[in-house]
Each structure stands twice: as C-alpha cells, then as structure tokens.
Structure 1
C-alpha cells in the first residue's frame, strides 16, 4: 500500500489503470509476472493487488476517488507517508476511524463466536477464513456501490433504482418504468405488477449525501404524492438515512410504505447483482466418511 500511496504523492489525479501499470514498473515485474492471472483467470494478479491496495487506502481516507476510475492522495495520505517511511500495513490503517468503521461493518453479521475467532488464529478452519473473506469483500463493495450511486446524476440514480427493483422481481408480469423528469408530482417511478397496470407500486428515489437525514415531513410529502396518484403502496429509496420520526410516519399512515436507506440499498444491489460482477468462486471439500465406511 505504501508504494501505491507514494506514487500518488505528487497530488495529481490519476487513473487506476495508470497506477496499476506504475506498480508493475515499480516492482520490476517481468512480462510473465505481469501476465500472471488469478486462479479464476479473470484478472491479472498485479491488477488485483493494486485494486485492493487502493480500496483499503480509500476506506481509511488516505486516498480519494473524485470520479469514476480516478484516484488521488488526501491530506491524511500525505501525513501517513511521512509517519510511515517503511510500510503501510493493515495495522497502520487501524489508526484511522474511517477504516475502523469499515472493519466494523464487516463484522456486523458475525456471531459472538465468530468475533472471538480472528482469521489469523491457528484454529480457524478454511470455512472460517472463507466466510470472513466474503464478509470483508461484501463490506468493501457495498461502500463502493453507495459511493458510485452518489456520483450518478439524479436521472441516472433513478434508472439505477428501477433496474434494482426489476432485478428483485418486481414488475415481471407487468413493467418497471421511470416517470418523466418534469411533472412527476413527487413520483420517480411506477411498478406495474400486472400486464394491465391495475396493481401499482409508486417509487421515489432521492440521491442525497450520506450524512443527510430524511425526516417526517418528507415522508408526508410522499404520502401526498401517493394520494395524488390514487395509489396505496410506495417505496422510498435514498442514499442517505431516515430519522426515527420518518420511520414512525411510514408505519403510522394507512398506506404501505417501504423505506430503503443507503446501507440497505447497497446490500440489495450486491445481493441481486446490480453494478457488480462475480470475481472468484471457491469450492471447499470435506472428507466423505460414508464413502470410506462403505468400502
């Protein structure tokens, strides 16, 4: 990670592809070493290593991603270079609150027993290690999905939401469509659950900063939009979060309203394969005791 950060120390915004090529030169890789692929055969090993280095540095706040495919060093990153002249390891990243928050997200789904068994523990089984890797990968990708959603224009975000709902199975017997940008009366999309459009779900999609909180009045406005459309079911999806008052309002009204915040949006995107692609599939084997007992 330190060579990657040092390469960005000039402060210029660089393409991720250029950083990967620079690291291949930094480590004087031969043509054969540069061409080496992961076991999946889908990506070069050097590209994978640099991509993960950038991901971890970004999670800690040492690297910024101002736009798609572009990276640059942050002020924290400059400080980290000065404070760590030899190496920047995961242990070093644990000094940064943003990285700790990221690691905590990877552990949210762990049971107490899993938390008590670090990956480096000699008693950890391959299954333990694999499950931890899957959790950590999921947390990384969910964060990047949310950041990418935030970088979309409003119309692009609405298209993303409608694509996600379609992948979740909504509208298969009918259609999922985004309303026109003007004159939508507070409705950004409509899901027709049947071919005639008699069974409808109305969608509002708001691309807000992650630190913004949606309060009760916004949900009341959405309820008004549902009434204007003569609908009784709605989904409000945002990249930010909802206050307790907003959630109480959604529960209180006679309409059926589902609220999906930024964290859940990213989880759903990952679960339903929207904006991601599978990189590696692993198969673990277990001794078949029945087979040997039958011999």
Structure 2
C-alpha cells in the first residue's frame, strides 16, 4: 500500500514549470540542490514541509523525490539535459521559451512509456495509457523510476545505513582521497558533534586547505544543532569543515552551514555520497545493456 503524500507537497506534475523557471533564474543551469532551494524560495514552501522525508526513507525528502520526477519528465521531453557532472541545463530549443504546457509534457511521456511497454510485452491489451491523474504515482514499475533514483541506489542507501560506523568512516576516507584529498586520517573514536577525521585539499596543485570532516551514518534528517556542534569542535588550524551523512539535511541545517559571519561548512548528503561512489566506481560497477531498434532491422 502506498503511503499517503502530505497534501502540502506539490506533486511532480505541478513542479515541471517551477523547475523550468528555477533553472532560468539560475542562469539556465543548476545542480539538484540549487534547483531545490530555488523552488522552495519561489513557491514559499515552509521548512517543515520541505523536510518531510519520502516514504520514511532517510536519504531524501519527498519534495526532492517529486522534483526528481519533474526533471525526468522534462529531460525525456527534451527540455533539459543532465551533464556528466550532474548539472542540469536547458537545451537550446527551449532557451527562448517562457511557458511550458505541463499537461502536454506529462501526456507525451506517459504515451511514450506506454508504447515502449506494449512493445516489450506483446501480450498486453492496453491500447494507450491515459493522462495521469494528479494523485497518481508515476513510479509504476522499476523501469519508470527517475534516473536519479533507481532501485539499485535505494539498495545501496540501505547498505550504507547498516554499515559498521567505523567502516563508513574508512569508506569516507577512500571517497575523499578519490576527490583529491591527501593526508586523510580518521580518528579512532567517533562521537556526535566532534571531528571524525582530517585531511588536506589542494586546489589546482597550489592552494592547500586543512579540512576536518564528520561522518554521520544517520537514519534521519540532520538539523541545524548538529551543524553548530560540528562547527564548535573545529580548531583554529582548520580552514574548512565538511559534514557527511547517509541521511539528508534539513533546510535549517543548510542555512546554518552557510550562515554569514560564521565558518562555512560544506555538506554532503546521502544522495550526493552515492553519486560520488558511482563516479569513482567504489563498491559499484556499471552494467551495459542495449535497446534493440526493431525498425532498423525491418528497414535495412
């Protein structure tokens, strides 16, 4: 049985245009976090609504999940493109467009998905899928998950949640090294609010920063108090702080991390951590599949 989605959270089909507008306001391109923050601002979504988790899962908010679906529909329709660095950008054909027809986009993609499924299952008796009602869920089969939230990613998120905490710290150590850190050391004892490790990050082979990090293998939403506690543990020789969690950060935590006049804290949530594991193929390996172009073989 599907969990009832809080009525205060906009559904994916109502976030297609706000996502497009957010990207325009961001200069035509943006990351997932930038899009999320811009949509929250534009739609004036309260903190308590923005922080509601998706079906109780700890590494993503419901709003982020719905936005992932909105981006998927926009991408399949050709409005936006996702680069190798996970930066979304508006495609040239839509740069000059100001207003999108959300219903047309949803209808076109639903029809395309139905045609693909009918080809794959010749025994199906469906003629054509109708427009999705507003309260329907587009994730009706594994193939229709948003590209950003495939089932294997959810399984990996569960594995990270059940890892030994010191094992997670060692995994974090490996990820940071792959990202360009050196002299990465993990402390022997882990404690909430404290420093779990340190390292050096060199930029362009010239500038070096002393970085302290905290790893929170956390099954929940990290709040602003956690950020303040971590900041309070940083010593004067630390130039940057990095907070890593398998969960997600509340809107208040993200604001606290970049609060003016305070030492800035960089954040890496569960979704971004998994993206790093994927980018550097740490514990995961890609599998190549092929789609058969039946028309090609008939017409050649």
How does the TM-score come out when normalised to structure 1?
A: 0.49
How does the TM-score come out when normalised to structure 2?
A: 0.49
Q: Bigger radius of gyration, 1 or 2?
A: 1
